[in-house]
Structures are given as structure tokens and as C-alpha cells.
Amino acid sequence: MDLSFQIQGGDFTSAGTASSQVRRALKELGVDAGVIKRVVVALYEAEVNIVAHAYKGNITARIDPERVFLKLVDEGPGIADIEKAMTPGFSTASQAVREMGFGAGMGLPNICRNADVFNIHSVPGKGTTVEITIQII
């Protein structure tokens, strides 16, 4: 099953709707609750990152019997120093993002912790691509 979502930067009202739909799809497919939680926590953090930092983005979710593959591609300022961005507690988030309960520098570490395979590639001034794989079995 393939799902695709367009994400608008700054749209905090809709942030989480893509993750919610992926969660629903996984539940309908009868995937283990622990796996669903890992997928949606990683995806939700990544979705919030697009809303918080990028101008716009696209999420695709491929659900196979063995694994879930998530790809998030955004157009935005990109990340100059990925190693620094992965450090728990490091954040460049705005006050508006912090008021939403995010932006404390836990997003990327949270994604990494829940993923079986995590890849991030960024071009400063262009955007960021995040790939997350989580095994179902």
C-alpha cells in the first residue's frame, strides 16, 4: 500500500494528519500495536519538522507485509550541520514551534530511536530528505 501527503510549512492546525492517516491504515491492516507506535511517533516528529522548518514537503509511506518505508522530502532552508541537529537538546525552532510543544531538540533523536534504518540528507538552501524504515516482522 502506498500513501502520499502534501505538507504545508507553518500549518500547525493540520500537523499530524498524515501521521494519523498512516496510523489508521496500519491499524486496519492489523499491524502490531508496538510497531504502529514506533512508525507514527517517528513519522509525527518528522511531519512536525516539515511544518516547523520547511516551506512545503511531501510524505510517502510504503507499507509492505515485512516493513514500513517512509520518505519525507521538503523544500526549505535545509540543515547545515546534521551531526549538530542530531544532538539531543539542540534546536533552531521558533517561539511559535515551542508554543506547540515541540522545538526542544528531541525530534531527530526520537525519529532515530524508533527507526530500524534512518537516513537524512540535506542541502542548505534547498531542503532535506529523511528516510525511515521500520520492520513489521
Residues making contact with other proteins (CB under 8 A): 12-13, 15-16, 19-20, 23, 33, 36-37, 40-41, 44-45, 48, 99-102, 104, 106-107, 110, 113
Residue 11 carries which DSSP code?
A: -
**60 vs 110 by CB, closer to other proteins:** 110
Amino acid identity at 57: G
In the structure grid, which three cell numbers stand for residue 11, read together? 500549518
Find the shortest distance in angstroms from Cβ 76 to other proteins. Answer: 19
Query: 102 vs 128, which CB is nearer to other proteins?
Result: 102
Residue whose entry in the numeric block shows the C-alpha cell 510497531 = 35
Three cell numbers, residue 75: 523544500
- CB-nearer residue toward other proteins: 89 or 125: 89
> Cβ distance 28 to 97 under 8 Å?
no
Minimum Å gap between C-beta 123 and other proteins is 25
* Nearest distance, CB of residue 102 and other proteins, angstroms: 6
Distance of alpha carbon 88 from alpha carbon 134, whole angstroms:
21
